[in-house]
Structure 1
C-alpha cells in the first residue's frame, strides 16, 4: 500500500476546488490532474511509486495516497512505462471511483495481463478503454483527441490534446520532437502544453546494472523545438524533478525559448502547484 508524505491535503484541495475554467495540478514526474468548471476530473499518468532503487530513485514526495481518491471521471496513460502505468498508483483510483482507464494497447496489456489489476482490485472490463492515434472521445466537459508521440523508448506512446470551452491542453507523455507536431500545432490552438524535460545521466542498465549513459527526456533544445512546432502559448516542463541522476533546472529554458515565437511563456511548476487555463 502506498503511503503519502503529504497525507490527504492535496486530494482535498482538488475535491474542494471550483475553477472558473480548467485547473491543472502538477503531481511530479509526468502526472497531472485536470478539473473543469463543471467538475469533471481527469488524472493523466499519475505515478506514486518509488522507482527501482538504486537504478531509479524517486527524488520528490509521494503527494497522495490513491486510496484517498473518491472523485474522478477518468485516468489516462500516455504509454506503458512503469511511471505512467502502475497498478498500485492507478488501480485503487479506478476501484474507488468507477472511473475509466484510457490507454493505448500496450499500456492496457500491462494493466490487464502483465500486472493483472483486476485480480487484486475490484475492477470491471468496461473500466478499460483502448485508444489509438486519430480517435476522439468525451469525458464529461472535456473532448480528448488522441495524437501521435515520438518516444523511442516506448512500444506504443500517444499524446493527448484536451479541449474545453476555456482552452486547450496538451500532454505529450515522454515524447521528443517529431514532424507531426507541426500538423498538431496547425490543427489545434494549444494554450498550455506538458513536455518531459531532463538531463542526460549515468543510470544503471536494467539487466546488467552497469552504469549507462541515459537520455529519457528532452534536453533544453529539444523541448523548445517541440514547443515551437506545437505553437504552445505556454510550456509546462515536467519530469525534471523525478529521477536521481536525470534531474534538471527548468529555469534555464528562459534562455533557450527567448528568441522563439512559441512558447510565448513558461509555466514553471513544482509538485503540488496549480495552474489555471
Structure 2
C-alpha cells in the first residue's frame, strides 16, 4: 500500500485516469461478433467503436480530452470554443462547458484497430491522444475524414501516407465493412472558425471540406453516424439511397440564442426521414451546459408514434455500453451488466444466523 507521503498529483492522475482503465479496451478485444451481426460501443459524445464478424475495428469521433478545467480561462472570448459560440450567438460570456461523462477507454492500449474516423474538425470530434497512441501502436492504420480534419492530423504529425481525405460519395472498404461519406448538415461547423488560421471577415467555405456524415455497412446491418448534423430535409435523400438500420443523432439542450444540437422532435424527424429501424441519441451527455435527458425523446415518441410515417423506435444507451445488432434490435434501454449471475451457486461461508 502506498504511503500518503509518496502520493502526488502525478500519481493520482496515473492511478485514477482514465476512470475505466483498460476495462473497455479488453472487452472490445475479447468480443467475438456473431455472424450477420455487428457490435458497437458508445465512447462518449459522438464517439463510437464498431466491430464486425470479420474482425474489422473502427472508431469514429473518439475524443478523450476534456472541457474547461478552471474558472480562470486564459483565453479571451474571441478564441477557442468560446469564439465558435460567439460567432453563432454574439455572446461574449465564457461558456461553462465542463465534461460530464467519464473517459471509458485508454487510447494507449488500443492495438486492434483498422481505421480512425473523424466527422469534422471541432475539438470534441478529433483527438491528439488517440492520434498519438494509434500512430505509436500501429504501422499503417488510416486516419479518415474531411479536409479540415486531415489538416489537424497533419499539424499533429500524423504521417501523410496515413491520412485519407474523404468527401460525400467516397467509399472505403475495410475487411467486411464499407464506409461511405455522405453530406453533413452541421451548420455550426459551417459558420465557426477552422482550427488553422484566422477567417475573420471571410465567408464560410464548402461544407464538404469541413464535415461529413458516415454510412457504415456491415454484415449485420447499416449504421448512420450523423456527426454534429442539425436536422435537414435531405435526410430523406439519404434514407432513399441507403437501407439504414441504426441512426445516431446528435441531441442536446440548446442554450438561449444558440441552435447547436437537434431537439427531440428533430431526432424523431431524422429517424423517420432516414427510414431507420432504431434511433439512438448521443452527444447530449458530454457538455454540462448542453446536457439533455433522452427520456424526452421517448416521451415524444410515445405521444406521436401513431402519426409517424415510418416504424422505428428510440434506444436509450449508456456510455461504455455495448449494442449488438440485430440481437438488441427490440430493446429500448441499455442496462449495464449487473454481474452476480452465479450468485449463491456455492453457499457463502457467512454466519447468516448471526444476523437474524
| Aligned counterpart for 2:171 among listed residues 130, 136, 151 | 136
Q: Does the alignment pair 1:191 with 2:245? A: yes
Q: Does the alignment pair 1:23 with 2:39? A: yes
Q: Does the alignment pair 1:4 with 2:4? A: no
The verdict on how the C-alpha distance between 1:157 and 1:263 changes in structure 2, with shifts beyond 3 A counting, is: farther
Partner residue in 1 for 2:225: 171
User: What is the count of residue pairs matched by the alignment?
Assistant: 260
- Deviation of 1:252 after TM superposition, in Å, equals 1.5
Q: Greater strand percent: which structure?
A: 1
Partner residue in 1 for 2:267: 223
Q: Is the 8 A contact 1:143 1:163 kept in 2?
A: yes
Partner residue in 2 for 1:239: 283
- Deviation of 1:227 after TM superposition, in Å, equals 1.4
Query: Counterparts of 1:85-104 in structure 2 under 5 Å?
Result: 85-98=126-139, 99-104=141-146
- Deviation of 1:97 after TM superposition, in Å, equals 2.5
* d(CA) in 1 for partners of 2:47, 2:311: 21
* d(CA) in 2 for partners of 1:261, 1:93: 43
- Deviation of 1:75 after TM superposition, in Å, equals 0.8
Per-residue Cα deviation, 1:224-247 (whole angstroms, up to 9, x for no partner): 111111111001100111101111
* d(CA) in 2 for partners of 1:175, 1:95: 32
Partner residue in 2 for 1:109: 151
What's the C-alpha RMSD, in Å, of the aligned pairs?
Answer: 1.7
- Deviation of 1:89 after TM superposition, in Å, equals 3.2
SS of 2:273's partner is: helix
* d(CA) in 2 for partners of 1:174, 1:238: 10
Per-residue Cα deviation, 1:41-89 (whole angstroms, up to 9, x for no partner): 0000001111234532100101122111111000111011000112123
Partner residue in 1 for 2:108: 67
Q: Is the 8 A contact 1:73 1:97 kept in 2?
A: no
Q: Is the 8 A contact 1:162 1:169 kept in 2?
A: yes
The verdict on how the C-alpha distance between 1:233 and 1:76 changes in structure 2, with shifts beyond 3 A counting, is: same
Partner residue in 2 for 1:249: 293
- Deviation of 1:124 after TM superposition, in Å, equals 2.6
Q: Is the 8 A contact 1:231 1:262 kept in 2?
A: yes
TM-score normalised by structure 1 residue count: 0.89
- Deviation of 1:90 after TM superposition, in Å, equals 3.2
Q: Is the 8 A contact 1:35 1:41 kept in 2?
A: yes
Q: Is the 8 A contact 2:51 2:58 kept in 1?
A: yes
TM-score normalised by structure 2 residue count: 0.70
- Deviation of 1:92 after TM superposition, in Å, equals 1.4
Unaligned runs of 5+ in 2: 1-12, 72-94, 191-209, 326-356
Q: Is the 8 A contact 2:120 2:189 kept in 1?
A: yes
- Deviation of 1:263 after TM superposition, in Å, equals 5.7
Q: Is the 8 A contact 2:46 2:282 kept in 1?
A: yes
- Which structure has the larger Rg over C-alpha atoms? 2
* d(CA) in 2 for partners of 1:59, 1:218: 19
SS of 1:226's partner is: helix
